[in-house]
Homo-oligomer: A and B are copies of this chain.
């Protein structure tokens, strides 16, 4: 199948190419980029050897639709909206990696992303692309909104508790991310000498992934709402997210019940690994891979700490998008995604 990547010059676009090179059912037939239009992929990314001589092209929906039948859109928030709509209009199936189609209500988008949504009519058809929670919907979807990297980690860490009605009210999500999460665009915070050898919080109380987590968690508990207190931190590493999630359970869940609950919940999820009790995950164990490792703690008095690691560019973005593609096409969910973490 011919696949196009719209906005392919950034890190998630490059990661889609890296992963799709190992996918047996797909050929990348089109890569678009705005400022790099006309440049060779190999000039930007020497590691993308099979695509070295492919040339980034400006995005034109008609032409794109001629050259590919399935699209990943990896444009910045706000720019994705239109491209997705143009492709959907022509009948293409799309996985969008931006935040533009993640919310059910346009008001939430406008409030947190600072601009009105130009295609609110598509929000209804867009499915939140976290296969472990919404596998059926994803399989039937024509438009999938790939989850944010932090929400992916936090939701996988807390979903079993929330879905079983064991935790309500408020959770603390203290997340640690590698710097690639900020993308390929330059900024002082991601300038090497500023970030190396240092850790810092950012976006305290105002990070845009907060409402995304709250909306999906609300859906998981069924009724009522979940308040998320979220602080992301920049860690001096390139890849990886660790979410350390603090929750209160009703009743006194013990460690073995907790473990059992999680193993049961993720029984049919090939990418989620529940570590043995007393073990906690490190990000490098999943580096470059689509896996999520979970480590759990319960003090038996209602305090639960759930930790999750993912590679922000794979399970937190491009790998998960391909997992959705596989489901949408009726292929094996793991197709092209079984590479193990590159450790050490």
Give A residues with C-beta under 8 Å from B.
11, 14, 18, 21-22, 45-50, 172, 174, 176, 178-180, 184, 186-188, 190-202, 204-205, 229, 231, 233, 235-240, 242, 244, 246, 273, 275, 279-289, 291, 293, 295, 297, 299, 303, 305, 307, 309, 338-344
Chain B min CB distance to A280 (Å): 5
B residues within 8 A CB of A338? 21-22
B residues within 8 A CB of A339? 22, 339
Docked pose: A188 CA to B193 CA in angstroms: 13
Assembly stoichiometry (copies): 4
Count chain B CB atoms within 10 A of each CB in A201, A244, A275, A309 and give the residue with the most: A201
Docked pose: A309 CA to B198 CA in angstroms: 10
Given contacts A14-B343, A47-B289, A176-B235, 7 further A-B contacts (CB under 8 A): A18-B342, A21-B338, A49-B291, A197-B237, A197-B240, A201-B242, A229-B246
Docked pose: A50 CA to B49 CA in angstroms: 28
Partner of A193, one of B11, B48, B49, B204: B11
Partner of A280, one of B18, B48, B201: B201
Q: Are B194 and A344 in contact (CB under 8 A)?
A: yes
Leading 6 A-B pairs by shortest Cβ distance: A200-B282, A198-B284, A47-B341, A193-B344, A288-B342, A186-B186
Chain B min CB distance to A153 (Å): 12
Q: Are A344 and B238 in contact (CB under 8 A)?
A: yes
Q: Are A235 and B46 in contact (CB under 8 A)?
A: no
A-B contact pairs, 10 of them (CB 8 A): A22-B339, A49-B340, A180-B193, A184-B191, A193-B238, A193-B344, A196-B236, A197-B239, A199-B237, A204-B305
Chain B min CB distance to A1 (Å): 20
Q: Are A186 and B184 in contact (CB under 8 A)?
A: no
Chain B min CB distance to A259 (Å): 14
Nearest B residue to A280 via CB reads: B201
Q: Are B280 and A204 in contact (CB under 8 A)?
A: yes
Q: Are B297 and A197 in contact (CB under 8 A)?
A: no
Given A180-B193, A281-B46, A282-B199, decide whether A235 and B235 contact each other with a Cβ distance below 8 A. Answer: yes
Q: Are A236 and B233 in contact (CB under 8 A)?
A: no
Given A193-B344, A240-B199, decide whether A229 and B305 contact each other with a Cβ distance below 8 A. Answer: yes
Q: Are A205 and B297 in contact (CB under 8 A)?
A: yes
Chain B min CB distance to A137 (Å): 27
Given A176-B199, A196-B236, A204-B280, decide whether A340 and B191 contact each other with a Cβ distance below 8 A. Answer: no
B residues within 8 A CB of A187? 186
Q: Are A344 and B242 in contact (CB under 8 A)?
A: no
Q: Are A237 and B236 in contact (CB under 8 A)?
A: yes
B residues within 8 A CB of A194? 284, 344
